[in-house]
Structure 1
Amino acid sequence: MAETRVDDDLWNEFHRVVNMTSRELSDWLRTRSAHQDTEALPDEAGTPTGQQVLGILRKRRTDLDERDAQVMQSVVNRVHAQRRDDLEPTSGQQNWRHRLMSLGHDPLKPS
């Protein structure tokens, strides 16, 4: 596997905006995917981006590849677009919170 160097700024900002642990995110993705009649397999639950974030959280920094770096940057950009730079705990509409949680960011959880 080709190693990709993720710069300190991206690494730190990703881990600042993704304030859910891999366990919390995994549990959330499974909960979010559970329906009355069907339930996704645990490693297929949630959005593709949510699964990619979960994969990144489970990797060491030295094991990240270029795709991981792109996902990290995308997640940082998406959370900032929704939250700006203020990541203080904030309530909002349920769907807004759930969308952010599917990226690994719980807006009600302290950073």
Structure 2
Amino acid sequence: MKSHDEIWSEWQELVNMTPAELEKWLDTDRSGSVGDTRGQGESTGHKSGQRIIEIKRTKKADLSDEDWAHMGKVVGYVKRHLAQGGPAKDTEHSDWRYSLMNWGHDPLKS
């Protein structure tokens, strides 16, 4: 199990969208068009994006155990998704990118 310091370091590196950017993204139709809904109306990634916004607006000292667990989940998801590699063409408009953005990472953002 990773320490809070390890999770924090990876979170800072991988979750590269600001709360405002993520909110704007989650309000788009494209955001809602990707991900597993498991029979629900909202995808797992979209729900995660909402939680990420809350976490990013929380001081590190005030993060709960549930926040840290979610941060670890986000880090794991983003790392696995990036390891798959993106599409050979049109990464900008790909479900791969859109899914990552739901989890707070825009692979086109430097």
> Percent identity among equivalent residues?
36
Please, what TM-score do these two structures have when normalized by structure 2? 0.73
Count of aligned pairs between the two proteins: 92
**Alpha-carbon offset, residue 21 of structure 1:** 0.7
Q: Which amino acid aligns with 1:24?
A: E
CA offsets 1:46-99 (integer angstroms, 9 cap, x no match) = 821111111111100011001111110001000110113x9xxxx366101000
Q: Write the distance in 2 (CA, Å) between the matches of 1:80 and 1:71.
A: 14
Q: Which has the higher helix share?
A: 2
Q: Write the distance in 2 (CA, Å) between the matches of 1:108 and 1:50.
A: 17
Secondary structure in 2 aligned to 1:16?
Answer: helix
Change (3 A) 1:9 1:70: same
Secondary structure in 2 aligned to 1:70?
Answer: helix
- Report the equivalent of 1:72: 71
Q: Which runs of 5+ in 2 are unaligned?
A: 33-41, 86-90
Alignment of 1:31-42 (within 5 A): 31-32=28-29
**Alpha-carbon offset, residue 32 of structure 1:** 3.7
Q: Please provide the CA RMSD for this pair.
A: 2.7
- Which of 10, 15, 20 matches 1:13? 10
Q: Which amino acid aligns with 1:22?
A: P
Q: Which amino acid aligns with 1:50?
A: G
Change (3 A) 1:13 1:34: closer
